[in-house]
């Protein structure tokens, strides 16, 4: 009862879009169907304890039960192959209704995730195009390249949705992502980067960028609570029936995004692709045009490193002078 209440409260409290809430796992409805599944089994004399004993492979009971989801192959054991043994198949009505409902709900969530991913991808591509226009060098010095460079350096440092550090490598959960996003926003505010923009369009683009991150964070939160709801209802199913579906159903379920949680990773791939598309074919020309200072520093560092390799640690670099 507690999780059902918390799940409902979270959906209401977190400010998810109404069409998201409508697509959420109907946990309370599934609980009602589960009650009927348990009743159906009890009517057959299969209470949880009896099922637990009959499903135990170590049991010496002359009766053996094998449970399978619809469409799942059930192997016939050697004992059942014995001509002295009889096999009786008992189709259950309400467990089929339970899993059909759950699969339909997951399919609906997958469709929602796919739709949201398309919308966010379009916004990322459009935003990337707009920022590339705002950061082009201008003879009038009206370019926000330096500000945007700092913003994206901070964003990469924050590693909002993914971490490359060894101690927490991989996709972040919503709690960690929220903490990193708050750090990033705090740094942007502390450094007054938005106020330093020379063009109002840059401020608008920054608002869009922050809004996009907030939306992706909400999406991750929504996925997490629905995955938790699925996990909880399957555990409850096992507790009421002892049929062990919490391990078998996730393998049977057809879900492209919900259970895998791939949306943030897919969005990140789009960001990387959009960034690559903004590079000129001649990469060297691009870098010298947009990052002239950094290119000179890198060339000098390479020259020093090469000199130390050729002449030893006592090498002292000096810039070339024309006599």
Render pLDDT for 128-145 as a digit per residue (tens, 0 to 9). Answer: 888 888 877 664 567 788
Rounded to whole angstroms, the Cα distance separating 67 from 85 reads 18
DSSP, res 183: H
Q: What is the DSSP string of 218-246?
A: HHHHHHHHHHHHHHHHHHHHHHHH---HH
User: Could you identify the residue written with the tokens 């520093």?
Assistant: 297
User: Could you identify the residue written with the tokens 């009766």?
Assistant: 63
| pLDDT the model gives residue 50 | 81
| pLDDT the model gives residue 29 | 95
| pLDDT the model gives residue 117 | 85
* Residue 136 contacts residue 143 (beta carbons within 8 Å): yes
| Positions of the chain with pLDDT under 70 | 1, 56-90, 137-141, 166, 251-299, 301-302, 305-315, 317-323
Q: What share of the chain is helix, strand, coil (3-state, %, to 5)?
A: 65, 0, 30
| pLDDT the model gives residue 294 | 61
Rounded to whole angstroms, the Cα distance separating 214 from 229 reads 23
Closest by CA position to 239, among listed 51, 64, 1: 51
| pLDDT the model gives residue 163 | 78
Closest by CA position to 239, among listed 61, 34, 6, 99: 34
* Residue 174 contacts residue 161 (beta carbons within 8 Å): no
| Two structure tokens written together for 322 | 């024309």
Distances (CA, A) of 8 to 16, 27, 98: 12, 9, 20
DSSP, res 13: H
Per-residue model confidence as pLDDT tens digits over 282-318: 445 555 565 566 656 666 766 776 666 566 666 676 6
| pLDDT the model gives residue 232 | 94
């Amino acid at each position: 009862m507690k999780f059902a209440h918390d799940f409902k409260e979270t959906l209401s409290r977190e400010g998810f879009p109404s069409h998201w809430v409508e697509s959420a796992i109907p946990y309370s409805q599934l609980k009602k169907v589960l009650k009927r599944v348990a009743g159906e089994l009890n009517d057959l004399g299969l209470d949880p304890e009896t099922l637990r004993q009959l499903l135990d492979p170590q049991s010496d009971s002359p009766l053996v039960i094998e449970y399978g989801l619809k469409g799942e192959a059930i192997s016939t054991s050697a004992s059942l192959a014995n001509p002295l043994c009889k096999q009786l198949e008992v189709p259950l009505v309400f467990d089929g209704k339970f899993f059909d409902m759950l699969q339909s709900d997951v399919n609906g969530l997958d469709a929602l995730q796919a739709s949201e991913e398309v919308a966010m991808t379009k916004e990322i591509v459009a935003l990337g195009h707009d920022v590339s226009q705002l950061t082009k060098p201008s003879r009038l010095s009206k370019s926000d390249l330096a500000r945007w460079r700092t913003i994206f350096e901070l964003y990469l440092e924050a590693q909002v949705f993914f971490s490359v550090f060894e101690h927490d490598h991989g996709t972040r959960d919503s709690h960690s992502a929220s903490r990193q996003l708050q750090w990033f926003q705090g740094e942007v505010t502390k450094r007054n980067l938005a106020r330093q923009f020379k063009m109002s369009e840059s401020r608008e683009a920054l608002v869009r960028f922050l809004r996009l991150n907030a939306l992706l964070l909400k999406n991750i939160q929504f996925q997490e609570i629905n995955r938790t709801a699925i996990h909880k209802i399957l555990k409850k199913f096992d507790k009421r029936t002892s049929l062990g579906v919490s391990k078998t159903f996730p393998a049977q379920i057809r879900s492209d995004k919900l259970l895998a949680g791939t949306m943030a990773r897919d969005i990140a791939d789009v960001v990387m692709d959009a960034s690559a598309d903004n590079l000129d074919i001649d990469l060297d020309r691009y870098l010298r045009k947009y990052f002239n200072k950094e290119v000179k520093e890198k060339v000098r560092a390479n020259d020093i490193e090469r000199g130390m390799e050729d002449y030893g640690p006592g090498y002292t670099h000096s810039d070339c002078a024309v006599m």
